[in-house]
Chain A
Amino acid sequence: MSAVIETLKLSKWYGNVLGLSDVSLEIAPGVTGLLGPNGAGKSTFLKLITGQIKPSIGSVRIFDQKIKNNQALFSRIGFCPEHDSFYEDMTGWVFLTSLLKLQGFSSPEIESRAAKALDIVELTADQDRLIRAYSRGMRQRLKFAQAIAHEPDIIILDEPLSGLDPLGKRKLIRLIKSYRDEGKTVIVSSHVLPEIEALTRTIILIHQGKVFAKGDIHYIRDLIETHPHMVAVSCSDPRGLAGQLLGEEFVLKVHFGADGRSFLVETDNRDKFFGRLLSLIVKSRVEVEEITSPDDNLQAVFDYLVGK
């Protein structure tokens, strides 16, 4: 499939601070997940491809056109910023119709498009309330509505799922997938792996301003699988439970906590480990307070990948 967005040796410095370095990418229609820890350069990349900032080196082409001073191209892009910021004195309706007016639509078109977008994000009932009175989830949905109201070909979403409750997240994920099915190009940034995993298989891993990996999500999954996992268990009988686990080949190390109520297991097969742990808990009727995975986050995976 031909690329919609192409970047060539894209780099950005903020003074002496590196924002993005030597990023050459081709993004095709469908959903692409931009994954990286906070401060990795995801927002910088999104700002560069939406023409909000200029690259220090390199270029961006969208639909084979340069983005700089290309106003017509902005009609085809919808951008949902990361910040929870609005014109607070406006109602949801006025906010949407105002931004549609800036797009250059006629009044009847503005009204129909705003009504449709509000309906999609289920804010029709609250459209006449001031934005300052909206909940975090409503604000997030309104931000999404302004990105899709003009029916762009490219939808760029910077951390769109943050602040949404689980139900809201599920709805938005379904919605984003529907845009993929329509053949649109959607780029979603997140620092939460399961969020991206729920949206797409095509990912770009970004870390410290560099593209670390790109391609199918199985790639990162495999990396995670080969990376020893830490699982912390707090329970009434840590030594008894850990003793039963020690015989398993997928358990690499066990550390006991100083509090006498917890232990930390290092395993190279998370799925097998959890299966065995749960059966042991049920069988031995141990009272479990908490099971956590202290390194089951993106930062830990990146630390592992960069060899920290």
Chain B
Amino acid sequence: MKPSRSAGIQSFLNAVGRVFAVFFRQGRKARRTRFFFLFSFLPVAVSLVIKFNQFFSEKPGQESGYLFTNLIMLFYLQMIILILSLFYGTSVCSEEVEGKTLPYLVTRPVPKPAVVLGKYLAYTAVMIWMVTLGLVLSFAVLNLDRLLDPSLYGLLGRYLGVLILGLIAYGAFFTFLGSFLKRSIFFGLLFSFGWENVIQYFPGSTQRLAIAHYLKSFLPPASPGRFSFLTFRLEQSRPGIALLMLLLITAAFLALACLAFSIKEYNLED
């Protein structure tokens, strides 16, 4: 007797949950996580240097909000989340192939798409944990003297949301690259620091071909008369459209990754 549709979905979600549990633990304990944890804390170190400089310098410093947007967020949005999602996203499939551990997963009662989704969710959770900690600390250091101002936390939530959406969307794209291409890191770097960093500054609708465009559409507009790297040449999309596009990008690339992982026969030979 065939299982009902809802039982099938339930069983699939259970499988995703089991894969998530295994790889969330493994992701947290992995040696590379220690390295990337330190890497994602670079903005905290920068924030500390700025704060010390402001404290000991006699000159009045830039205001904290401006520094946060133009330095810390720039660092996170255009470098850290790209690097993190590139390495974690591509590794969802490629680490099993390169490490020749794939047979341990595909000979279990777990559908192949559940392996991809479970690992993707686990690694995304690890990345979100790293980025959240770093961002909150950087924010707190730079706004040390205004921590009781409730309006600040709305801004922090907005910035954090943008980064989380970035990790989700970029992670899905890189998961697809890792499932499909052998030299996924190389092509991922080309995409991250080539395509994304160039296309987003193109005028008109061309910039809508970059994931970064939709992420930046959630950022508050720059104050009049002040230059902002993040919103430079940005022709914002409406937040609803931006969110929909990011969700569509995520769903599409995850579906493609699941398909590639299910169909492709990976060569584990030396």
B104, A81: Cβ atoms under 8 Å?
A: yes
How many contacts between A and B, using CB within 8 angstroms?
69
Residues of B with C-beta under 8 A to A104: 14-15, 18, 109
Residues of A with C-beta under 8 A to B267: 14
Residues of A with C-beta under 8 A to B105: 102
A55 to B179, CA, bound (A): 21
Known: A54-B265, A85-B101. A101 touches B22 (CB 8 A): yes
Chain B residues touching A, range: 20 to 34
A52 to B96, CA, bound (A): 13
CB of B190 within 8 A of chain A? no
CB of B147 within 8 A of chain A? no
A79, B109: Cβ atoms under 8 Å?
A: no
Known: A101-B22, A102-B18, A104-B14. A75 touches B109 (CB 8 A): yes
- Of residues 104 through 141 on chain A, the ones whose CB sits less than 8 Å from some CB of chain B are 104
A90 to B268, CA, bound (A): 21
- Of residues 1 through 31 on chain B, the ones whose CB sits less than 8 Å from some CB of chain A are 14-15, 18-19, 21-22, 25-26, 29-31
B22, A98: Cβ atoms under 8 Å?
A: yes
Known: A85-B101, A87-B99, A98-B26. A52 touches B31 (CB 8 A): no
B19, A102: Cβ atoms under 8 Å?
A: yes
B21, A101: Cβ atoms under 8 Å?
A: yes
Instruction: Name B19's closest neighbour in chain A (CB-CB).
Output: A102
A71, B109: Cβ atoms under 8 Å?
A: yes
Which of these, B18, B19, B22, B107, contacts A52 with CB under 8 Å?
A: B107
A94 to B23, CA, bound (A): 11
A90 to B19, CA, bound (A): 15
Instruction: Name A76's closest neighbour in chain B (CB-CB).
Output: B109
- Of residues 265 through 305 on chain A, the ones whose CB sits less than 8 Å from some CB of chain B are none
Known: A53-B265, A54-B265, A89-B26. A99 touches B108 (CB 8 A): yes
B110, A102: Cβ atoms under 8 Å?
A: yes
Which of these, A51, A53, A71, A99, contacts B104 with CB under 8 Å?
A: A99
A164 to B200, CA, bound (A): 57
Known: A85-B100, A89-B30, A104-B14. A74 touches B107 (CB 8 A): yes
Known: A99-B104, A146-B104. A83 touches B268 (CB 8 A): yes
A50 to B104, CA, bound (A): 11
Residues of A with C-beta under 8 A to B161: none
A29 to B106, CA, bound (A): 24
Instruction: Name A86's closest neighbour in chain B (CB-CB).
Output: B101
Q: Which residues of B contact A (CB under 8 A)?
A: 14-15, 18-19, 21-22, 25-26, 29-31, 99-111, 265, 267-268
7 example contacts (A-B, Cβ-Cβ < 8 A) are as follows A71-B110, A74-B107, A75-B109, A87-B99, A99-B104, A99-B108, A146-B104
